[in-house]
Amino acid sequence: MENHINDKRYSLEDLPENVAKFYRSVPFPHDYATNFKSIKEFARQCQLSHSKTILITSGGTIVPIEKNMVRYLDNFSGGGRGAATAEYFLEHGYHVLFLYRKNSLQPFIRHLMLHDTNFFTFLSYNPEQHLAYVSDTYKEQVSNLFMKWKSYIDSGRLLRVHFETVGEYLYYLRASTIELSTLKRNMIIFAAAAVSDFYIPLDQMSEHKIQSKNEGLTINLDPVPKLLKLVVSEWAPDAYTVSFKLETDINILDAKCQTSLNSYHHQLVIGNLLSDYKNWVVFHTPSKPAMYIRKTEQQIKDHVDIEPMIGERLKDLHRIYCDHPPHTTTNHNHNHHQQN
């Protein structure tokens, strides 16, 4: 990438062996140059406006099984949490870089993508004028949502960049965190995307569609390196960084969150269970006891979003983080890194 040739921050040489190998073992995103330019410009605008900024990653990542991809492994995530969180922070004055899986849920639009709805769900038809129009039932809701969506995009407060594969995702995660790192403590990294833990390197991948011969199939996958470590120690060491732990087994959730904090030395791990991630989450931070955010019975019944409750708590934590800069010139995260 010509953008990166003279930029030491993008050099693969100084990276851990497994990370450099990963980046070399996945295809470069084909629209990277355009998106990189947008991200750079967005970071400049955030700096100029002195606005707080949040990078939200959202949706699952796919892992191709063949070079000529017919089959792929995917991670379940509709992207609802990321999209709802983007709304909250937009409405509370933040700039939002929304890094999302193609065709997953997006802020504001998500309210119109429930169940088996589609574009036509919201239209009515006037046969005399031969005209489709937004039906009276939805007119107010659609107008409200569209107006917000349009104003945040037009004003440059919301930038959307999409990915599909785990390789594309990790290229854009690197670009976003490095370019936004100039915002220092004014930035939150909200890593809600369900990133695959495993992938197949290009050189181990079948060229063509794997043939079925009425036999079974065995797929061998390599581990995806944990890039959160690099985000925290190298790419955006001053940011307030939040990661997620999604589990299906409640008995291991807290321990997994703590292990994550101890491994990456970031600010917050939000734990949740697949079965009821919409009803409660738990905040694990290095310094405080675990904090639970739970919807009331009534809120569950009313299908109230939990994301504004998460957002409010996070915004408070971020304000405290911004108001209390580190005592030493070397910041807290760097200290942690150096201990490793």
Which residues sit at the interface with a second copy, rule CB under 8 A?
62, 65-66, 68-76, 102-103, 106, 108-109, 112, 116, 118-120, 122-123, 125, 127, 130-134, 139, 142-143, 146-147, 149-150, 162, 194, 196-198, 207-209, 212, 214-223, 226, 246-249, 274-275
Instruction: State the CB neighbour count (10 A cutoff) for residue 224.
Output: 21
When the beta carbons of 97 and 314 are compared against a second copy, the nearer one is: 97
Q: How far is the CB of 305 from a second copy (least distance, A)?
A: 20
Q: How far is the CB of 6 from a second copy (least distance, A)?
A: 31
When the beta carbons of 212 and 298 are compared against a second copy, the nearer one is: 212
When the beta carbons of 142 and 290 are compared against a second copy, the nearer one is: 142
Q: What is the C-alpha to C-alpha distance for residues 201 and 103, in angstroms, rounded to an integer? A: 25
Those residues whose C-beta lies under 8 Å from the C-beta of residue 36, and which sit 6 or more positions away, are 1, 3, 175
Strands 291-294 and 280-284: antiparallel
Q: What is the C-alpha to C-alpha distance for residues 233 and 11, in angstroms, rounded to an integer? A: 15
**What is the residue-wise DSSP string for 178-191?**
HHHGGGGGGEEEEE
Contact 156, 42 (CB under 8 A): yes
Q: How far apart are the first and last CA of the chain?
A: 31
Q: How far is the CB of 99 from a second copy (least distance, A)?
A: 14
When the beta carbons of 134 and 300 are compared against a second copy, the nearer one is: 134
Q: How far is the CB of 306 from a second copy (least distance, A)?
A: 19
Rounded to the nearest angstrom, the gap between the alpha carbon of residue 206 and the centroid of all alpha carbons in its chain is: 29
When the beta carbons of 33 and 70 are compared against a second copy, the nearer one is: 70
Q: How far is the CB of 124 from a second copy (least distance, A)?
A: 9
Q: How far is the CB of 130 from a second copy (least distance, A)?
A: 6
Helix (H) or strand (E) run with residue 85 in it = helix 80-91
Strands 123-126 and 268-273: unpaired
> Side chain identity at 104, as an amino acid letter?
S
Q: What is the C-alpha to C-alpha distance for residues 164 and 337, in angstroms, rounded to an integer? A: 31
When the beta carbons of 10 and 149 are compared against a second copy, the nearer one is: 149
- DSSP for residue 316: H
When the beta carbons of 67 and 313 are compared against a second copy, the nearer one is: 67
Q: How far is the CB of 287 from a second copy (least distance, A)?
A: 27
